């Protein structure tokens, strides 16, 4: 064997050894990350999770394991598991996070958010309150806020038709464990009744409660219209949710993996906005086709104003709950909303 041939063989062997070492290192560094959310298969949070998983797995050796509602418990359970590092990622709405981060309850001030989708989406993309102030609040609780995003306009379902605050008088309306949401329904004249999600259908069916609120796709997917058939569109807000990571886990990631996670969150945000466009109309159509008992009441501006007139007391309650920091956040919210509405 001449020197040239021997050199080629040694070089080739070295290259193969190096490639094998790199591959072994890659496999060793690959991880399975656990991600839980609050909804069922095919619902908005689940679709977002699948887009997040798609991006991570197509751009790294990591794997994402997704857990739907109920597989690891209720919303409080998956948050606790994330804070303890059992889960790496959690998708949870401020409706539940509000008990942990009081300022997150800002989304439940009625008539603060606009109702048209284009403005809502631009707000979530551009808002300083969303993208600069909220991450600091979540970090204080050991959470890395990756993205907040809207799911759909809130709709009330009831045991009978309603169109005024007086019609809601003494109606027991299920709310998430969120003090400000309770304050909203008190302002609307109803009796707020906190219940975990797993008990809502049965409570409606047995008349333990008279109604509840959720985005229309969730009312359709959970079959709530079957036991609470009167739909009331008041235009009082949008359901908002957030994906976050355990902060210790996130801080321990390499810069490359941190960038990967952020890019996956942004990719899923863009995809989910396309997904929810038209989803409400589609879900409402499915509901009305499925049941002859369903009624749909969409309030006109004069009727909405009767509810809107009661909103300031909820805003005052928010400031009482959250103090100077909450007031600063609220002011920034309003500035951000003016900016996008002006655009």
pLDDT digit string (tens) for the chain, length 343 residues: 544 444 344 444 443 343 333 333 334 479 999 999 999 999 999 999 999 999 999 999 999 999 999 999 988 899 999 999 999 999 999 878 887 899 999 999 999 988 889 999 999 999 999 999 999 999 999 999 999 999 999 999 999 999 999 999 999 999 988 889 999 999 999 999 999 888 999 999 999 999 999 999 999 999 999 999 999 999 999 999 999 999 999 999 999 999 999 999 999 999 999 999 999 999 999 999 999 999 999 999 999 999 999 999 999 999 999 999 999 999 999 999 999 988 6
**Count of domains for the chain:** 1
Quick check: is 12 in a domain?
no
pLDDT at 313: 96
pLDDT at 4: 44
pLDDT at 342: 83
Quick check: is 5 in a domain?
no
Quick check: is 196 in a domain?
yes
Quick check: is 204 in a domain?
yes
CA distance 65 to 87: 10
Q: Looking at residue 270, which CATH number applies to its domain?
A: 3.40.190.170
Nearest alpha carbon to residue 326 among 108, 76, 126? 108
Bridge partners, residue 241, by sequence = 149
Question: Given CA atoms 283, 289, 294, 297 in this order, what sign does their dihedral have?
Answer: positive
Structural domain for 170, as ranges: 30-342
pLDDT at 37: 97
Quick check: is 11 in a domain?
no
**Backbone Cα Rg of the chain:** 24
Contact 232, 155 (CB under 8 A): yes
Quick check: is 311 in a domain?
yes
pLDDT at 177: 81
Quick check: is 153 in a domain?
yes
Quick check: is 221 in a domain?
yes
Nearest alpha carbon to residue 57 among 81, 95, 93, 31? 31
Q: Dihedral through CA 98, CA 99, CA 102, CA 103, nearest 10?
A: -10
Question: Given CA atoms 93, 95, 101, 102 in this order, what sign does their dihedral have?
Answer: positive
pLDDT at 14: 43
């Amino acid at each position: 064997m001449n020197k040239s041939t021997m050199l080629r063989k040694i070089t080739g062997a070295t290259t193969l050894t190096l490639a094998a070492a790199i591959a072994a290192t890659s496999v060793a560094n690959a991880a399975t990350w656990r991600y839980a959310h609050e909804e069922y298969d095919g619902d908005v949070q689940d679709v977002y999770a699948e887009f997040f998983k798609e991006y991570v797995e197509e751009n790294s050796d990591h794997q994402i394991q997704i857990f739907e509602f109920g597989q690891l418990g209720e919303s409080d359970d998956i948050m606790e598991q994330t804070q303890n590092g059992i889960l790496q990622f959690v998708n949870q709405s401020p409706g539940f996070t509000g008990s942990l981060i009081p300022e997150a309850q800002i989304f439940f001030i009625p008539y603060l958010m606009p109702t048209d989708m284009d403005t809502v989406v631009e707000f979530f993309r551009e808002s300083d309150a969303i993208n600069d102030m909220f991450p600091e609040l979540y970090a204080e609780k050991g959470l890395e806020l990756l993205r907040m995003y809207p799911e759909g306009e809130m709709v009330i379902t009831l045991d009978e038709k309603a169109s005024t605050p007086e019609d809601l008088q003494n109606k027991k309306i299920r709310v998430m464990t969120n003090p400000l949401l309770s304050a909203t329904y008190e302002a609307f004249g109803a009796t707020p009744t906190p219940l975990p999600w797993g008990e809502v259908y049965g409570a409606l069916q047995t008349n333990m409660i008279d109604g509840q609120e959720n985005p229309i796709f969730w009312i359709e997917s959970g079959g709530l219209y079957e036991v609470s058939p009167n739909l009331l569109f008041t235009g009082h807000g949008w359901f908002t949710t957030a994906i976050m990571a355990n902060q210790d886990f996130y801080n321990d990631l390499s810069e490359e993996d941190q960038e990967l996670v952020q890019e996956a969150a942004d990719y899923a945000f863009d995809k989910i906005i396309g997904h929810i466009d038209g989803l409400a109309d589609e879900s409402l159509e499915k509901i009305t086709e499925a049941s002859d008992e369903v009624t749909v009441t969409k309030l006109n501006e004069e009727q909405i104003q009767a509810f809107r007139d009661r909103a300031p007391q909820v805003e005052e309650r928010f400031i009482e709950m959250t103090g100077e920091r909450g007031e600063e956040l609220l002011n920034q919210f309003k500035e951000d909303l003016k900016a996008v509405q002006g655009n």
